């Protein structure tokens, strides 16, 4: 999830663990802990693109990281907050829960987390977009109410608990919505006599009303969308895999790494002006133009000294702005 959401979650969890004993300091350290796992993005400045993608939501988003580093951070804070009268174990408990809930929440998104690192399996339920105001805003509202209550006030724990319950309930609702939309997409594929190998569904940006489906067929991927306000049948747009364009590159180590990142196959290859682009399908399109698609995550493939490198293409801000407008109209139904 986005940084603000993780800060809010960390602060609320910190409050739940130690709020009665140290007040808003529990929120402060919880908020800090809530951002720590995402420091793995610093790898973007020190490694190549493919390695940085592999690192993101890996080690720092694992159970192992939470267990090992919670006592370290707990000990450091116990030295800083000597006047609190709390032991390093108390602070370690706060850091464990704030660190572990970060990747748990991320596990509900499309990108997922390598929760069981060093095992490579990524947990990705794909039922909530990385930024969802319906999750974050009510949560933030109850957190702010909590901040202005005295440590000993019953209202303080009530508001914080309510924020945790409301946000968690929304996650459960999105799982139910995912199940409903999955049935809608598979029924539409059956009605349209479309043979397919596998299907993935996920919510559109910033909401849980509009959903997308990636559908793999023999030679192409289909992308369909469905809004709960729709009255017309689901339409699917086809995008050729074009994996053959890779030629001998298909066996190159870095191409195999990219394939693994896309969950072993959810990608297309496009060619523009004799340049090849590797398009990660999991995050959909940056525009709604099936004739000239721009994918959210697309990588220019460049060969240097026999090694294939991937360079992330710059995103067109105008396309992004237009997409948000198109999505808003699409949410209203077809």
With vertex at residue 225, the alpha carbon angle to CA 222 and CA 227, rounded to the nearest 5 degrees, is 165
Same domain, 111 and 218: no
At residue 290, the pLDDT reads 67
3-state secondary structure at position 236: strand
pLDDT computed for residue 320 by the predictor: 74
Domain count, the chain: 2
Please indicate, yes or no, whether residues 204 and 266 belong to a single structural domain of this protein. yes
What order do you get walking across the sheet with 210-216 strand by strand?
198-203, 210-216, 220-227, 236-240
Does the residue 184 lie in any domain?
no
Say if 237 falls within a structural domain. yes
Q: Using CA of residue 264, residue 270, residue 276, residue 279, what is the dihedral sign?
A: negative
Low-confidence ranges of the chain (pLDDT < 50): none
**Does a structural domain hold residue 302?**
yes
Does 216 fall in a domain? yes
Contact 174, 228 (CB under 8 A): no
Give percent of the chain with pLDDT exceeding 70.
99
Query: In the 8-state DSSP scheme, what is residue 203?
Result: E
Residue ranges making up the domain that contains 227:
192-334
**Confidence (pTM):** 0.94
User: 152 and 204 in one domain?
Assistant: no
Domain identity same for 129 and 243: no
């Amino acid at each position: 999830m986005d940084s603000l959401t993780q800060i809010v979650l960390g602060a609320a969890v910190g409050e739940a663990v130690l709020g009665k004993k140290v007040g808003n300091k529990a929120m402060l350290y919880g908020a800090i802990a809530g951002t720590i796992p995402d420091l793995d993005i610093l790898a973007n400045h020190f490694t190549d693109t493919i390695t940085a993608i592999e690192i993101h939501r890996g080690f720092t988003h694992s159970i192992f990281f939470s267990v090992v580093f919670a006592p370290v951070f707990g000990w450091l804070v116990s030295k800083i907050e000597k006047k609190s009268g709390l032991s390093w174990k108390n602070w370690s408990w706060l850091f464990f829960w704030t660190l572990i809930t970060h990747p748990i929440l991320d596990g509900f998104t499309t990108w997922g987390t390598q929760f069981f690192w060093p095992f490579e399996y990524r947990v990705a339920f794909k039922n909530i977009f990385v930024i969802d105001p319906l999750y974050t805003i009510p949560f933030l509202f109850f957190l702010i109410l909590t901040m202005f209550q005295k440590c000993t006030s019953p209202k303080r724990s009530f508001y914080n608990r309510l924020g945790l319950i409301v946000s968690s309930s929304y996650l459960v609702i999105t799982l139910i919505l995912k199940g409903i939309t999955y049935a809608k997409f598979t029924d539409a594929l059956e009605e349209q006599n479309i043979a397919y190998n596998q299907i993935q569904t996920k919510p559109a940006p910033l909401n849980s009303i509009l959903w997308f489906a990636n559908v793999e067929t023999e030679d192409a991927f289909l992308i369909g969308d469905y809004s709960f306000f729709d009255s017309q049948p689901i339409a699917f747009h086809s995008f050729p895999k074009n994996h053959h364009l890779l030629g001998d590159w298909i066996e190159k180590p870095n191409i195999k790494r990219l394939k693994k990142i896309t969950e072993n196959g959810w990608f297309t290859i496009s060619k523009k002006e004799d340049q090849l682009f590797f398009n990660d399908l999991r995050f959909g399109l940056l525009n709604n133009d099936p004739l000239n698609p721009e994918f959210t995550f697309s990588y220019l493939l460049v060969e240097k000294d026999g090694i294939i490198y991937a360079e992330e293409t710059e995103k067109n801000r105008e396309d992004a702005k237009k997409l948000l407008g198109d999505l808003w109209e699409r949410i209203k139904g077809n």
